[in-house]
Structure 1
Amino acid sequence: MADQRQTGFVGAGGPSAPTVFFLSDSTGITAETLGNTLLTQFPGQPLERRTIPFITTVEQALEVVGVIDQLAATGPRPIVFSTAVGQDIRAVLARSRGHFFDLFGSHIGQLEQALHTSASGQPGQAHGVGDAVRYQSRMAAVEYAIEHDDGQSLRALERAELILIAPSRCGKTPTSMYLALQHGILAANFPLVEEDFANLSLPEPLLPFRGKCFGLTSLPVRLSQIRQERRPGSVYASLAQCTYELRNAEDMYRTNHVPYVNSASMSVEEISATVLQRMQLHH
């Protein structure tokens, strides 16, 4: 059978919780992303999630259908999100006794009409190597983000398309990495430390690149909680220190006309989308 990955429970699962299947003839990432996006509209619903990627033969598809049908016979009818590309595999999966949502086939015909051409029918295009140039661009961006994480290197800073600045633990690193991996953005990030607040000017290495800078801030209580996990009981994690750094960082942003966003209640995806929109970065 295809590889399976148990992704755990949401809420108090138990025997009455429907199982949600994310099925794919590739990695399953797209099925998970689209399916989970739809499921966010039902936050109180307990669900068990199972991802089954690399369903590449009809035999494997039949085996998966057997699992779904067995669950349907003994409990709540499963929910099935599929991004399988191959028509034969999609046809088999659609025969399951689950609530079947074909996230690929339901739109591909419309796209073929709109583009006046036939789909390739090749799986793995979204998260495989696919477009070699774009793939290499993303990998180069990841290498750049790693080298320029937390101000470790100032080499080739002129190549940066974006420089994230913020006090420690405001989300610079995960945002830089996400923008690199998902969008191929050459993103550096630079920490703001106490000596940077002696005046309201940007740190000297960033002055030539003011137009590439984007600031992150947070809520003092939230930042203190995050820092306590790293250095419990330290001045670094104290509410007073966090309040001081955030207040001065925001003053710096405003003085230097650096756009910024409060990341306290935002996911890395939301932060990244905000940065892309406000900095008008497109790949």
Structure 2
Amino acid sequence: MNMPTSVMRTVFFVSDGTGITAETLGHSLLSQFEGTHYRQVRVPFVDSPEKARDCVQRIQEAGQRDGLRPIVVSTLVSAAAAEALLETDALVLNLFATFIEPLEQELGCKASRTIGQSHGRANSEDYAARIEAVNFTLAHDDGVSDVDLDKSDVILVGVSRSGKTPTSLYLALQFGIKAANYPLIPEDFERNRLPGALAPHRHKLFGLSISPDRLTQIRQERRPDSRYAALENCRWEIDQAQKLMRREGVRWLDSTTKSIEEIAATLMQTVKLDRHTF
């Protein structure tokens, strides 16, 4: 059934943990329905039937306000809490229940249904690796330091504001990848070569480019009406950066219409960085 585009419907992401998994999976599902509008509410740490009933109250209030049944995307592990969540007039999608029961049948054993299992002590080494990667990335942001670049997994290059910093931090936090980033500046274009500190690490370089119009828009927010943000200058810098990367054999992609997740996935596949998500 098609809904009028002016209708706002509330979606709850309910979890006994942070709610990130519920929200990520929920977004993936909802993105398949174009023209719909949602008011999103994340409800984390619902780890008891009592808290689930408090959540039910919020869901009912949202339904009364909207005049439409809310949608609830749940990753509750506790059967008692998940059952309490059903005491409301809403579409409740329990993603864990969808997959756990078939897995129990296939594996021939019962799931522990232990809250917080995915973030327990077994991941402590992975967590430490992520923190180490984030610290490394922050210390090597925007060419601040070229010390220990040999310890990096990848070095992002590109003109200022092309998306290097957010992509580097995402790689570090999500995958534990030590990602440095280095700006390509007019002096590099005039010398017609990469910054000297990067030459020994050419095999680790990956470039980001961006459309001139988008770059101008981003730079205007930082330095309005400056030469730095002028469309003509942005066009020149991007053109020079792309020529330099081609000449130096640096693999690169255009980040204009891509999300950080898409950039990271493409980068990891291109430079063959095999990491699992956390």
Same fold (TM over 0.5): yes
Q: Structure 2 residue aligned with 1:190, among 167, 182, 201?
A: 182
- Residue 48 of structure 1 pairs with residue 49 of structure 2: no
1:261 aligned residue: 253
1:80 aligned residue: 72
Give the alignment of 1:15-54 within 5 angstroms.
16-54=7-45
Report which stretch shifted further, 60-69 or 262-271.
Answer: 60-69
Number of aligned residue pairs: give it: 271
8 Å contact kept, 1:162–1:213: yes
Note closer, same or farther for the CA distance 1:132–1:115 as it changes in structure 2 (3 Å cut).
Answer: farther
- Residue 57 of structure 1 pairs with residue 55 of structure 2: no
Shift of residue 256 of structure 1?
A: 1.6
8 Å contact kept, 1:200–1:255: no
User: Secondary structure, in 3 states, of the residue corresponding to 1:18?
Assistant: strand
User: Secondary structure, in 3 states, of the residue corresponding to 2:8?
Assistant: coil
- Alpha-carbon separation, structure 2, partners of 1:148 and 1:129: 29
The CA RMSD measured in Å over matched residues stands at: 2.0
- Alpha-carbon separation, structure 2, partners of 1:272 and 1:234: 31
8 Å contact kept, 1:124–1:130: no
Gaps of 5+ in 2: none
Structure that is richer in helix per residue: 2
Shift of residue 67 of structure 1?
A: 3.1
Note closer, same or farther for the CA distance 1:71–1:241 as it changes in structure 2 (3 Å cut).
Answer: closer
2:223 aligned residue: 231
2:262 aligned residue: 270
2:141 aligned residue: 149
Q: TM-score, normalised by structure 2?
A: 0.91
Shift of residue 63 of structure 1?
A: 2.1
Q: TM-score, normalised by structure 1?
A: 0.89
**4+ residue runs over 6 A deviation:** none
Shift of residue 180 of structure 1?
A: 0.3
- Residue 172 of structure 1 pairs with residue 161 of structure 2: no
Note closer, same or farther for the CA distance 1:79–1:179 as it changes in structure 2 (3 Å cut).
Answer: same
User: Secondary structure, in 3 states, of the residue corresponding to 1:104?
Assistant: helix
